[in-house]
Chains A and B, each alone.
Chain A
Amino acid sequence: MKFMMLVIPKGYEQAKPGTLPDPKMVENMMKYNESLQKAGVLLALDGLHPPSMGARVSFSGGKPRVTDGPFAEAKEVLGGYWMIQVKSKAEAVEWASRAPMSDNEIIEIRQVQDFSDFPPETQKHLGDFKDKQSPPRK
Chain B
Amino acid sequence: MAAPDPRPAIDAVWRMESAGLIAGLTRMVRDVGLAEDLAQDALVAALERWPVSGIPEHPGAWLMATAKHRAIDWLRRDRLLDRKHQELGARLEAGASEAQDPEEGEIGDNLLRLMFMTCHPVLPAEGRVALTLRLLGGLTTDEIARAFLVPEATVAQRIVRAKKTLAEEKVPFEVPRGAELNARLSSVLEVLYLIFNEGYAATSGDDWVRPALCEDALRLGRVLSELAPQEPEVQGLVSLMELQASRLGARIGPSGEPILLLDQNRSRWDHLLIRRGLAALERAARLGGRGPYVLQASIAACHARAKAAAETDWPRIVALYDDLAERLPTPVVELNRAVAVSMAAGPAAGLELVDRLVTEPSLRNYPLLPSVRADFLKKLGRTDEAREEFRRAALLTRNARERELLLSRAAACGREGPPDPGSEG
Residues of A bordering B, CB below 8 Å: 31, 34-35, 37-41, 43-44, 83, 85-91, 93-95, 114-116, 120, 126-131, 133-138
Within 8 A of A (CB), among B261-308: 265-269, 271-276, 278, 304-305, 307
Residue from A90, A91, A116, A135 in contact with B271 in the complex, judged by beta carbons closer than 8 Å: A135
Q: How far is the CB of B50 from chain A (nearest CB, A)?
A: 13
Q: How far is the CA of A34 from the CA of B107 in the complex (A)?
A: 13
15 example contacts (A-B, Cβ-Cβ < 8 A) are as follows A31-B104, A37-B222, A38-B105, A40-B218, A40-B220, A85-B218, A90-B12, A91-B12, A95-B16, A115-B268, A127-B267, A135-B274, A135-B307, A136-B305, A137-B307
* A-B interface, 5 closest residue pairs, ranked by CB to CB distance from nearest: A130-B267, A40-B222, A40-B219, A90-B12, A90-B8
- Report the minimal beta-carbon distance from B249 to chain A, rounded to whole angstroms: 6
Q: Is the interface of A mostly helix, strand, loop or mixed?
A: helix
Of the candidates A85, A114, A133, the one whose C-beta lies within 8 Å of that of B249 is A114
Q: A86-B12, A127-B267, A130-B268 given. 6 additional CB < 8 A pairs?
A: A34-B104, A90-B12, A127-B265, A130-B267, A135-B271, A135-B304
A38 touches B219 (CB 8 A): no
Determine if B267 and A37 form an interchain contact, defined as CB atoms under 8 angstroms apart. no
Name the distance in Å between A94's Cβ and chain B's nearest Cβ. 5
Q: B13 contacts the other chain (Cβ, under 8 Å)? A: yes
Minimum CB distance partner of B211 in chain A: A1
B131 CB, min distance to chain A CBs, angstroms: 21
Interface size class of B (residues with CB under 8 A): 35 or more
Q: Which residues of B (6-36) have their CB < 8 Å from a CB of A?
A: 8-9, 11-13, 15-16
**Contacting pair A88 B271 (CB below 8 A):** no
Look across to chain B and name the residue whose beta carbon is closest to the beta carbon of A130. Answer: B267
Distance from B247 Cβ to chain A, minimum over Cβ atoms (Å)? 12
Q: In the complex, which residues of chain B have a beta carbon less than 8 angstroms from the beta carbon of A131?
A: 266-267
B215 within 8 A of A: yes
Contact of A136 among B13, B220, B268, B275 (CB under 8 A): B275
Q: A94-B16, A116-B249, A136-B305 are in contact. Are A38 and B104 (CB under 8 A)?
A: yes
Residues of chain B from 303 to 349 with CB closer than 8 A to chain A in the complex: 304-305, 307
Chain B neighbourhood of A128, CB < 8 A: 267
Known: A115-B268, A133-B271, A135-B304. A85 touches B215 (CB 8 A): yes
